[in-house]
Structure 1
Amino acid sequence: MVECVAAPDRTRDAARRCPGTARPLSVSVLPVSSATTAAGRTHRAGRPSRMTTSRRLSVMMLAMSVLVLTGGAVGAAALSHTAAVSNRLADRISPARAAVGRLESGLLEQVAAVRGYVTTGNPELLRPYEAGVAAERATVDRTRGLLADEPDARRELDDAIRLADRWRTEFATRLIGARRAGTPPEQLAPVVERGRLAFDAARAALTALEGRLDRVQAAGRRNLDDARAVRDVLFVAILGALLLSSVVISVLVRAAVLRPLGRLGASVRHVANGEFDHRLRPEGPADIARLTADVETMRRRVVDALMTSRRDRDALEQQAAELRRSNEDLEQFAYVASHDLQGPLRKVASFCQMLQRRYDDQLDDRARQYISYAVDGATRMQDLINELLAFSRIGRVYSDDREVDLAEVFARAESDLSGPIAEADAEVVADPLPVVHGDPTLLTMLWQNLLGNAVKFRSPDRTPRIRVTVAEDATGWTFGVADNGIGIDPRYADKIFLIFQRLHPRGSYDGTGIGLAICKKIVEYHGGTLVLDDSDTEGARFTFTLPKPAAAVVPEQAGERAPAVPA
């Protein structure tokens, strides 16, 4: 492929039209010596720096990394402190406060249950007392765990529980036992009064603990608010520092990297637009300066390559013109062969036959034989021309690519050969054939030639049997056409597919020797292969492949159909 570059001022439209045309390129190409001395078109730049772009970016990224890590550490510390305060408040203080409230409520229910039992003597009223005692033990254990970091509150909890246990031991248990023994409620009134005083002491201890936890909870909320405020201030400061550093780094990158790259890009665009005399001078960081020098070297090589490309393009256009003339000559030959040559041949055959009919009684046997030779030669020449034309049209004039039911095509070919098949009393057996992509006319011609050969080259001492098999794999299908005929020597496995190649004398079997060549070209046109399977010991077996639709070869030429040609 030859690239074409148009001069920016004179031939921009031509540059857009250049691909696919044979017009001469309008480019501004200077020799290397001229291009490198065009000082008037060279960009003036400052001296290149010793520090490379990667080193500059590394310094900037290091500074940014230090800033980010510092900000991240400070932010992580702030988040950790805020989380600790929040967790202490939510996971310990608040649940402990709620648990103390449940202890006080449970103790009140126990007192009410004991009083009710003492008053009425109904044992059912003691169930809340017994359930409250069991629940109190579990609540006390959990509350002690929640107050592990609060020694004062835990000490007050222990005092309150000790007072509650004293009330149960000295009063509640005695009252329940006396009432069960049958003591009247009036005699138990003094004990009930002393028990009330003991209960009030336990309740007062729980109330004091609740007050302490309320104060701790309020202090925790204030600490949480302060921690959140500090966290927000820190994050705003970190964000501001990051934004400021980003602005500073972007300014530095623009001045130290992007600006030199922009000037380099502008110079490269000048060269890309066809200004090959535009010289590039190194500037900016060391690596960008080296890149500029490399681009300058490339520019010089492009100038040389374009000169060579122009010469190669001229040679290619000359070869293309010669190929077009050759194709035109081939088409003209095909026309002459199909019309101008066949006309005289038909006349020769016709007049020879007329001569034989009119003067048959005046001709001796030798003259009749000569006339027969002439008619047979003209007829065979017509057959050769027709088959050669059919061979040349395969892959060049066919465009009917579509889904083809091979079963229908095979049946059509078998029907066309019904006469020879019936005459030979041949047996044709075929596996179920698939649907493929291809040209139905060509595929019919393929089956006609393969079946016709199997019938033609049959063995005289046995009934002809033709077996068609098919096997499918991931890429396509493999077909086999086997017969029990005279077979083919494996030494001629390649020769039989050459055009006009015969393995038998002309008088033994009719045909021109082009049938298998046509079959091979048809199969290859569809993207497959056709070979002689030399593993078959009886008769001959041909195998060919056809790809599945995704891999099928789609013909690109259009034209007329060729008739099927028997082998």
Structure 2
Amino acid sequence: MTSKRSGAAGAFADWTTRRWLRVGVAATLVVLTVLGSLGGWAMWRTSQLTAALVDRRSPALIESIRVEEALVNQETGVRGYGLSGQTDFLQPYAQGVTDEQAALARLRPLLGDDSRARADLAEVEKLAGTWQQRIARPVSVATPAEAAKVTAARTAEGKTTFDALRRAMSRQQDHLQQERRSATGQLSRAVTLRNWVFAVIAAVIVLVAGLVFEGLRRGVTGPLSGLGAAVRDVTQGRFDRSLDGTGPADLRQLASDVESMRLRLVAELRFSEEARGLLDGQAEDLRRSNAELEQFAYVASHDLQEPLRKVSSFTQLLQRRYGGQLDEKADQYISFAVDGANRMQSLINDLLAFSRVGRVHNEQRTVDLERLLGTTLGDLSVTVEETGAEITHDPLPSVLGDTTQLGMLLQNLLSNAIKFRHPDRAPRIHVGAARTGDEWEFEVRDNGIGIAPEFREKVFVIFQRLHTKDAYPGTGIGLAMCKKVVEFHGGTISIDPAYPSGTRIVFTLPALPATPAPAAETAVPDRETQP
């Protein structure tokens, strides 16, 4: 017995919520169908008995009484005419005959297939016909004198015949009354049965609703609430809380999956704690390294600059004083020394500037790029005039950033555009701006010598040069510094490989909230923007 119960319980334990719902809905539909059928039968039974009582039994009794009244009126009229000879008594008789025929015509279809009622009606009609044939018609068609004789002669026969007719009509009405009482009793019992059936239906519906509610509470909402409470405890940091599932198989599987996820989270958290310890150590090493770099920058900006300036100054002094007095080789060596000292000084200065990006200059505020471009063009005014460059620009917006770094960005891009100009044409440079979603996209395009597509990523690496220092001077840090400035401000920078004539550098910067876009593009020559 125990094994059978456990086997049944195991079979039910494998049922999912969907299966429980299907079985429950099917069982409920069966119960409701049975109850609906019983209720429909009770209503049909009540309506049938009501129709029989209202449409047949009661009207039949009423019509039988009307037949009796019509015959009594005939008997009264005929007897009065026979005794008095006054023709006025024939009017009730004639009306009684008409009423009798009309009542009989209505009564016959009401009796239906009731054999006893039809036998009673046949007996009444037979006796009424005998009385009319023997008494009523002879008296009614006779003259007043003859009517009195016929009446006197047939008084005893008429009384006997009409008394028999009265007894037949009384039996008919008694039978109809019994049938009416029986139909009334059946209707009362049917109504009582109908009321009990509907009361049972209501009770069963309430019971089914309660069972459904309790089943949902125990099988769905209860397990889900328990699982939800356990999950909330886990989300609040109680990772040691075990998630045990109850209810149907799919809810238990869900709890098992969530429990697996909790265990995975615990393992990930443990790994994260270990990784955090490693990161803390690495962060400490990084802080120490940054401190050493800060010390190196201080040394490079102070201690190394002084001897380098001495070397540069004395080599330049040696070149001015003894230039031309020694042989050609000596002059060449002195020139190499002066050039190397100057390049070293430029490299140190550029490295210091590159290391300060995002570290020394980091004042975040609203920067008017229109005004900043004017200041930059003023700084480059001598180079612009010497090269004959024409610089135009769109209306530039205001952005959030560091003024010094953004100024370095514009100066490096414009300086490169002028430096790498085409030898056969004057530089034509344009600075553009367009709003794209939550950021501004800027461009600096020129008509210079351009950059080959295979070098468009290489040029942003520090100290990467595409040309010799004799062809184009510089340290190779400019575009690397531009990339660092743009990325520090949360943007991107790239070279457009599809630009056909010259170079087009595109970079983005985050836009200020609710910053309106420029109304129209304007071309402003560099001499108009110079202070």
TM-score (norm 2): 0.50
Unmatched runs of 5 consecutive residues or more in structure 1: 1-44, 79-233, 553-567
Indicate the residue corresponding to 2:491 in structure 1: 527
CA contact (8 A) 2:218 2:247 kept: no
Which region of structure 1 is more displaced relative to structure 2, 355-364 or 513-522?
Answer: 355-364
Give 1:531 deviation, angstroms.
Answer: 0.4
SS in 2 for 1:50: helix
How big is the shift at 1:237? 10
Q: Is the 8 A contact 2:387 2:427 kept in 1?
A: yes
Q: Is contact 1:528-1:547 (8 Å) kept?
A: no
Q: Does structure 1 retain, via aligned residues, the 8 Å contact 2:300–2:348?
A: no
CA shift in 2, pair 1:442/1:247, >3 Å:
same
Q: Which structure dedicates a bigger proportion of its chain to helix?
A: 2
2:397 aligned residue (434, 448, 463): 434
Amino acid at match of 2:281: A
C-alpha separation between the residues in 2 aligned to 1:275 and 1:529? Answer: 48
For 2:445, which of 472, 475, 482 is the aligned residue?
482
- Residues in 2 aligned to 1:341 and 1:270: alpha-carbon distance in whole angstroms: 57
Counterpart selection for 2:417 from 451, 454, 457:
454
1:465 paired to 2:435: no
Structure 2 equivalent of residue 350 of structure 1: 310
In the TM superposition, residue 349 of structure 1 has moved relative to its aligned partner by: 1.7
Question: Structure 2 counterpart of 1:417, which letter?
Answer: L
Higher RCO (C-alpha 8 Å, min separation 6) = 1
Q: What is the match of residue 507 of structure 2?
A: 544
CA distance in 1, matches of 2:315, 2:286: 41
**In structure 1, C-alpha distance between the alignment counterparts of 2:498 and 2:219, rounded to whole Å:** 75
- Name the SS for the 1:410 alignment partner: helix
Q: Does 1:302 align with 2:263?
A: yes
Q: Distance in 2 between matches of 1:536 and 1:264?
A: 64
Q: Using a 3 Å threshold, how does the CA distance of structure 1 residues 237 and 402 change in structure 2: closer, same or farther?
A: farther
How far, CA to CA, are the matches of 1:70 and 1:393 in structure 2?
88
Aligned mates of 1:486, 1:259 — CA distance in 2: 75
1:494 paired to 2:436: no
- TM-score of the pair, normalised by structure 1: 0.48
Distance verdict in 2 for CA 1:48–1:308, change over 3 Å: farther
Cα separation, partners in 2 of 1:419 and 1:245, compared to 1, 3 Å: same
Aligned: 1:325 with 2:285: yes
Measure the CA separation in 2 of the matches of 1:431 and 1:312.
50
1:528–1:66 distance in 2 versus 1, CA, 3 Å: farther
Q: Secondary structure at the match of 1:383?
A: helix
Q: CA offsets, 1:72-128, max 9 Å, x none?
A: 9999xx9xxxxxxxxxxxxxxxxxxxxxxxxxxxxxxxxxxxxxxxxxxxxxxxxxx
What displacement does 1:499 show? 1.3
- Taking only the aligned residue pairs, the percentage that are identical comes to 39
In the TM superposition, residue 512 of structure 1 has moved relative to its aligned partner by: 0.8
1:246 aligns with 2:209: yes
For 1:133-212, what aligned pairs fall within 5 Å after superposition? none
Cα contact 1:338–1:386 (8 A) shared by 2: no
Take 1:238 and 1:408, find their aligned partners in 2: how far apart are those partners? Answer: 87
Aligned residue number for residue 339 of structure 1: 299
Task: State the partner residue of 1:387.
Answer: 350
SS state at 1:543 partner: strand
1:264, 1:467 → 2: CA distance? 64
CA–CA distance in 2 between the matches of 1:269 and 1:493? Answer: 52
Please list, as runs of the form range in 1=range in 2, the aligned pairs for 1:44-83 lying within 5 A after superposition.
49-51=10-12, 52=15, 54=17, 55-62=19-26
- What one-letter code is carried by the residue in structure 2 that aligns with 1:535? Y
Q: CA deviation at 1:289?
A: 5.9
Are the aligned partners of 2:442 and 2:508 in contact in 1 as well (CA < 8 Å)?
yes
The secondary structure found in structure 2 opposite 1:411 is helix
Local SS of the residue matching 2:465 = coil
Contact 1:50 1:285 in 2 (8 A): no
Partner of 1:443: 406
Aligned-pair CA distance for 1:410: 1.3
Shift in Å at residue 455 of structure 1?
2.2
Summarize deviations over 1:430-483 as a string: whole Å, max 9, x none: 222234444433322221111112222334554333233344555654433333
Question: CA 1:381/1:62 → structure 2, altered by over 3 Å: closer, same or farther?
Answer: same
Larger radius of gyration: 2
Shifted more, 47-56 versus 508-517: the winner is 47-56
| C-alpha spacing 1:284/1:505, structure 2 compared with 1 (3 Å) | closer
Give SS of 1:509's match: coil
In structure 2, the CA distance between the partners of 1:410 and 1:259, relative to structure 1 (3 Å rule), is closer
Shift of residue 403, structure 1, vs aligned partner? 4.2
Contact 2:458/2:464 (8 A) holds in 1: yes
Question: Closer, same or farther in 2 for the Cα pair 1:71/1:491, shift >3 Å?
Answer: same
2:260 maps to a residue whose letter is M
1:200-232 Cα offsets, whole Å, 9 max, x none, are xxxxxxxxxxxxxxxxxxxxxxxxxxxxxxxxx
Tell me if the contact between 2:405 and 2:485 (Cα under 8 Å) persists in the aligned partners. yes
Partner of 2:464, secondary structure, is coil
> 1:457 is matched by which residue type in structure 2?
F
2:303 aligned counterpart, secondary structure: helix
Spell out the pairing of 1:1-40 with structure 2 (5 A cutoff).
Answer: none
Deviations 1:375-415 (A, max 9, x none): 54344334323323433444566654454332122112111
Q: Does 1:413 align with 2:381?
A: no
The letter for the 1-side match of 2:212 is: I
Q: Deviations over 1:15-39 (max 9, x none)?
A: xxxxxxxxxxxxxxxxxxxxxxxxx
Cα deviation per residue 1:274-327 (whole Å; 9 max; x = unaligned)?
558x796x87655566667x469839x938x85686456435532552354135
| Aligned length, in residue pairs | 348
The alignment yields a C-alpha RMSD, in angstroms, of: 5.2
Please list the CA deviations of residues 30-69 of structure 1 after superposition, one character each: whole Å capped at 9, or x if unmatched.
xxxxxxxxxxxxxxx9995532353444444455567889
Q: Is the 8 A contact 2:363 2:402 kept in 1?
A: yes
